[in-house]
Chain A
Amino acid sequence: MSDTSRIYLQPTPIRIWHWLNAFGIVTLGLTGIQIRFPDYVNIFAGYKTAILLHNVAGVVVAASFALWFFYYSFVARNMLKLYVPSKDEVQKGLLRQAKFYLLTYFLGRPNPHHPTPQNKFNPMQKSAYLAIMFLLMPLLGLSGILLINIEPMRNLILMIGGLKILMAIHYLLACCLCAFLFTHVYLATLGRTAFAYIKPMWTGWEENESEQHETLDLTAPRPN
């Protein structure tokens, strides 16, 4: 028999950030499609509405990014530990997690990683989130801020190489984020139940099974 325990995994500021982000990014994606392909897509009433919504959603996502950064940097103070994979995780953890996703998951084996508030992400998550939160999101946000302020920031845009190059960067990064989003949403359903990973992001609490913890602790080395 398993002894189900609950751990408080997602603190309130992070949950607010996550859902603001989610709502904002979906809005950005939909409005972005209309902005790029207005002759084919008209989801929102009028092009101007799409532009304004896109700008507002962009500012919301940028603000929520600031909230995330502030919380992990100055309140929880565990940003690097959460997001930067350790040497062991890079050398062994990545392979172990990839093996789980690509093989042992299909055989019905449990996930080798068990989240704790101080080690929420598995090595693959860490690597992906490191690239996304420290590279993709800042670049996407900065290019968006430049595009909202083309005339005042013409200097910077010219230094980058011009407006068209900036647009190309913004568009391709957005496509990368969109590609990640599909993977992210799908992998979020990979828990014991479809909502097992999604629910904690709403309530903060994740149900875990202590027996499995023990088993996994013996079979797989925990990351530092």
Chain B
Amino acid sequence: MKIDKRLIILWIASLTLFGGVGVATLAAPDWMSGAPGWAIRFFLGYCGIVIVAQVFAVMGIIRRPEDSTVKNSRYRILPVLLLLVFVGLTPARAMQGSDCQGCHRDAAMVGAAFVVNPTTFDTTAHAEIGCPACHTSVGSNHPDDGLVPSKAGCQDCHTEVSREYAASSHYGSAACHDCHNPHQARGATAVSGHDMNRQCRLCHATDAVVERHLEWLPQTELHIAMLPCVSCHTAAQDNVITLYVVKRQKGANIATLEPASYVELQGLAKGKHVESLIDGNEDNYISLTELRLFNLNSKNPLRLQGMMTPETVTHDFRLLANRRDCSFCHASGPDARQSSFIALPQSDGSYRRMAVERGAVLDALYGTPDFYMVGSTRSKALNYIGAMIIAGGLVVPIGHGTLRFLTRKNRQDEKESDHE
């Protein structure tokens, strides 16, 4: 069997293209959604047809046109059939990836209840395992098959968390999805403290929470506003100070500072990254100088609001006795408050953290002017200044008292002369 050299070159080129695009598609399933996805499928289909046609030609199943003396209907029909088969098969593969978003991003197609915002979902940890990992029953005929898609149980993967949660006081009152939307779920450090509390408020109204804590917690409203509930009501550990950008809302009272949204920050950043509003040199690290510049800019409508947030969260919701001891947070001393971060909202709804230079929350004035944790964020500089003032007050008793003691005889003499 003699094979034309040009055929071999064509064959290798087609295989390379087919394999390359196929591997790239599997590596980045996002490409398969929308119009680009269809273009890729047709390209893959074309490559496939060429390869199959070439194999068939070599095997003599079909004849090349130049060799053909008669009209070969098989040659004309077969590629078309193969193209249809290939294109028909590719959606089935896409169902195993994020191509679900082709329909589920559009409320008009699937209804508002079944919309999954791709911008939000794509950056979650769940996006990495893909839709079919949880919705296993969804096949190529979805939704025409009429089957209700299956949903994996959270405990299938989050075994430890489920076990921990089952022993908590929340268990039975709220299921996982009551607090966590699996299409939006993120790690603790990618969520703001305000967002964490927003979930709690779905059941626990702020007024009722404040009222309950008034019984024992000083500065109740302040604590409720500035602490994620999980910092005290779970055994969450490694608390750090996270600074969020807040903005006075238009027409609102100066005290009504709400977390600034990504869109608001993007508008203020004037085309740059939102991080550039604080991180002037864009090195993903906030120095004390940058912090001061941000805080001292009188034209800046933004301020930084500090919250004590946990680095690692747990799901053992309960009442912890040691959290009622103020010293749990307030007597930890300045060493425990050296680490701080600035978290900025991103376009996908998550928060991105940037480390802040050590000592930011301890800086005397302009590190974090709106954040102070009594007992644990004291400034060393102020300590020294205060000590010097008090020492100044001791100069009179000590200095004058010493001279007074040394000259006591003079006054005794004066007294005696008075009595005479």
Contact = CB atoms under 8 A, between A and B. Distances in A.
B419 A164 contact: no
A165 B369 contact: yes
Interface in B241-268: 253-255
Contacts of B255: 154-155, 158
Interface residues of A, number: 52
A20 B63 CA distance: 113
Contacts of A46: 325-327
Given A47-B326, A108-B414, A175-B390, A187 B222 contact: no
- Main secondary structure, interface of A, reads helix
B382 A101 contact: no
Interface in B373-399: 374-376, 378-379, 382, 385-387, 389-394, 396-397
Interface string A21-51: 0000000000000011111000000111001
A46 B414 CA distance: 52
Interface string B400-417: 110110010011111100
B326 A179 contact: no
Contact of B393 (A159, A164, A180): A180
A158 B404 contact: no
A152 B385 CA distance: 30
A125 to B, nearest CB: 13
B410 A48 contact: no
Interface in A137-183: 150-152, 154-155, 158-159, 161-165, 167-168, 171-172, 174-176, 178-183
B247 to A, nearest CB: 13
Interface of B: 218-219, 221-222, 225, 253-255, 303, 325-327, 330-333, 364-365, 367-372, 374-376, 378-379, 382, 385-387, 389-394, 396-397, 400-401, 403-404, 407, 410-415, 418-419
Given A108-B413, A163-B371, A158 B386 contact: no
Given A48-B218, A155-B255, 19 more contacts: A35-B374, A39-B375, A47-B325, A55-B218, A109-B414, A150-B219, A151-B219, A151-B221, A151-B225, A152-B221, A154-B255, A158-B255, A158-B370, A171-B386, A172-B386, A176-B389, A182-B396, A183-B393, A190-B404
A52 interface: yes
A35 B375 contact: yes
Contact of A186 (B367, B378, B401): B401
A36 to B, nearest CB: 6
A163 B376 CA distance: 14
A150 B305 CA distance: 14
B382 A162 contact: no
Contact of A172 (B367, B368, B382, B392): B382
Interface of A: 1-2, 35-39, 46-48, 51-52, 55, 101, 105-110, 150-152, 154-155, 158-159, 161-165, 167-168, 171-172, 174-176, 178-183, 185-187, 190, 192, 209, 211
A52 B372 contact: no
A51 B365 CA distance: 23
Contacts of A161: 365, 369
B327 A47 contact: yes
Contacts of B403: 106
Contacts of A211: 418
A50 B292 CA distance: 33
B325 to A, nearest CB: 7
**The 6 residue pairs across chains A and B that have the minimum distance between CB atoms:** A179-B393, A162-B369, A108-B414, A38-B331, A108-B410, A186-B397
A168 B382 contact: yes
Contacts of B222: 150-151
B397 A183 contact: yes
> Of A35, A165, A179, which is in contact with the most chain B CB atoms at under 10 Å from its CB?
A179
Contact of B400 (A1, A101, A162): A101
10 contacts: A39-B332, A51-B374, A161-B365, A163-B369, A168-B365, A171-B386, A172-B385, A179-B393, A182-B394, A185-B397
